[in-house]
Amino acid sequence: MTSPVVATAPTDCTVVLVKVAVGDEVGEGAIIAIVEMMKMEHLVVAPESGIIDSIEVAAGDVMQSGQVIAVIDARSVGASDGDVDEPAQGTDRADLDEVISRRRQLLDQARPEAVAKIHARGRRTARENLADLIDPGSFEEYGGFMYAGQTARREIDDLIANTPGDGIVGGLARVNGDLFGLEASTCAVMSYDYTVLAGTQGFRGHQKKDRLLEVVDRLGIPVILFAEGGGGRPGDTDQMSLAGLEIMSFAWMARLSGNAPSIAIVSGRCFAGNAALAAVCDVIIATPDANLGMAGPAMIEGGGLGVYTPEEIGPVDVQSANGVIDILAGDETEAVAYAQRYLAFFQGTVSEWQAHDQAALRDVVPENRKRIYDVRRAIELLCDIDSSLELRPTFGNSVVTALGRLEGRPVGILANDPAHLGGAIDSDSADKAARFMQLCDGHGLPLVVLCDTPGFMVGPEAEKSAQVRHFGRMFVAGASLTVPTATVLLRKAVGLGAMAMSGGSFHSTLLTVAWPTGEISGMGIEGAVTLGARRQLEAISDLDERRQTYEKLVARQYAKSKALNAAAHNEVDDVIDPADTRSRLVNLFRSVPPGDRSGRPMIDTW
């Protein structure tokens, strides 16, 4: 004996199609009808196998939820259960095929001629550079399906094929997962694509960048930017704004300053808007063929300022000497390696490290107090083996700024270089030092100061460089430091210069120690004797006697300025064996409780 079952409307709806007739055999799950609610289709299926006994509706009928659509005489029938006309999962679908096809068009393989041109210049494509930078398989692209906004003068198929991504590739990826013994960090990675309209900035590319950088700002993650390109693009036709000055790209990029590490890599030509993005990054890494400037040839010529080739504008020899470029790499491969190495300092402590023989530090500073020495040797020996990385090595040469590790922990190192101006701090060096302090503070790196300075540079020529303000910048930056700081006096620690190196005071630090070679004084000793004993010396008519008296007075002052005497007067905390420097610093920084880094309002770009 059979029993009737009913198929009912799943919701308030309109019948679109009835797929069965009275007398049809149906299997359980077979489609009885298709109904529509709010433009969405619902399938009405047979609750059991059987024979259609009656149909209660027709196409176009408006129904209420639960209303009967068909009555089924439930029985075993020949139709198979689940006899539906929907395609099985995993079969080909036109919509998915379209997405896959479009994604293939974004890849280098889709544009062999453009790729061949970039390779002929000895360069890599945007995607090749990104692939070298990131952990394999970790790239999650944003805005890849965009194309140049030029539909008023070009066919869409042409734009899709030849302007993929509107000339910029960007997304999120992991970096350094298999390097340096660190846990990979998620970063935003972006590369302008010189094979697309010379890497110029289109309005859709700005939209993509705006979206990605807003995500970056919310996540607080690092950014690595390959910045090659010619700046704003005049050929777009689809934008609604007049000049595009409302875009947020530059504001979003600048907001990262002091809150998340940012790295720009520059190869080839980088002008105008592309250069402006690089300019706000914490560090700029460049290759020898880079030209970096706020205006390219067209803008310069348009301004009536002459005709120049791109190679004449901002070459690396100029931009390295003036401090724009932080690290000069040999090629793109080395530039990527430098970016990974730099980023690693802000990714945490490494577990495996090796130390130099610290006894070698005893021989860094000569016993002859007037003999120069290589302060970079002190940095190298102090840090873990092969861990130090110098920034801006050819700018502001009176100071050395470097990143390094002490027992795996990243630190910043600020040192005077007595081989340049005797270590006297000039305007460029003050700028370099102040910005480095901010960089370390913004990203939570303890700061180690290796002090050997006769003070700030003096004289009328020095003052023409606005030294008063530049030097004051060191005090302001130092006074705002929140990271743990320690000063080691290698030799000379004279007056305001030594105080500025130490954050404003020897007691601003958590620790100030001196090597036995340390000399602490309020001003240059020879100058102090010349000024302070002028009448006494002028009263001695015999020149040999005057010279001998002067030398005795100088020697007496040097004896007073010895580090041991400064320690006795509480100006320094201790005088140590140079070989103990590393252990003192490690123990100090180990004792500092970890704290949340809220960053800084900004890190100066200069």
Give the CATH number of the domain where residue 15 resides.
2.40.50.100
For the residues 358-369, what does the mean pLDDT come to? 95
Give 173's strand partners: 187
Q: Which of 146-155, 338-347, 507-516, 542-551 has the lowest mean pLDDT?
A: 542-551
* Antiparallel, parallel or unpaired: β 40-45 and 68-74: unpaired
**How many residues are there in the chain?**
606
**Per the domain annotation, does 90 fall within a domain?**
no
Residues 265, 194 share a domain: yes
What is the spatial distance between Cα 236 and Cα 213, in angstroms, rounded to a whole number?
A: 22
Helix H or strand E segment including 41:
strand 40-45
Residue 81 pLDDT greater than 50, yes or no: no
- The pLDDT value recorded for residue 411 is 96
**Per the domain annotation, does 351 fall within a domain?**
no
**If you count DSSP H runs as helices and E runs as strands, how many of each does the chain have, helices first?**
20, 25
- The pLDDT value recorded for residue 2 is 62
Residues 221, 295 share a domain: yes
- The pLDDT value recorded for residue 1 is 53
**525-532 helix and 543-561 helix, angle to the nearest 10 degrees:** 130
Task: Give me the domain span that covers residue 37.
Answer: 3-74
Residues 290, 383 share a domain: no
**Per the domain annotation, does 292 fall within a domain?**
yes
Residues 445, 308 share a domain: no
Residues 385, 328 share a domain: no
Last residue of a domain, one of 344, 377, 401: 344
Residues 43, 105 share a domain: no
Residues 249, 196 share a domain: yes
The encoded tokens of residue 50 equal 């059987």
Tens of pLDDT, residue by residue over 548-591, are 887 887 778 777 888 999 999 999 999 999 999 999 999 999 98
Confidence of residue 596 (pLDDT cuts 50, 70, 90): low
Tell me how many domains the chain contains: 4
Average of per-residue pLDDT values in the chain: 91
Amino acid, res. 218: R
**Per the domain annotation, does 82 fall within a domain?**
no
Residues 308, 285 share a domain: yes
Residue 539 pLDDT greater than 70, yes or no: yes
Q: What is the pTM of this model?
A: 0.87
The encoded tokens of residue 380 equal 């190298």
Residues 192, 152 share a domain: yes
Chain center to CA of 43: 52
Helix H or strand E segment including 212:
helix 203-219
**Per the domain annotation, does 88 fall within a domain?**
no
**Per the domain annotation, does 199 fall within a domain?**
yes
With pLDDT > 90 as the criterion, what percentage of the chain qualifies?
70
Last residue of a domain, one of 344, 373, 393: 344
What is the spatial distance between Cα 22 and Cα 26, in angstroms, rounded to a whole number?
A: 11
Residues 224, 140 share a domain: yes
**Per the domain annotation, does 512 fall within a domain?**
yes
Residue 240 pLDDT greater than 80, yes or no: no
Residue 15 pLDDT greater than 90, yes or no: yes
Confidence of residue 294 (pLDDT cuts 50, 70, 90): very high
Residues 145, 229 share a domain: yes
Residues 567, 541 share a domain: no
**Per the domain annotation, does 584 fall within a domain?**
yes
Tens of pLDDT, residue by residue over 107-166, are 999 999 999 999 999 999 999 999 999 999 999 999 999 998 898 889 999 999 889 999
For the residues 399-406, what does the mean pLDDT come to? 98
- The pLDDT value recorded for residue 85 is 54
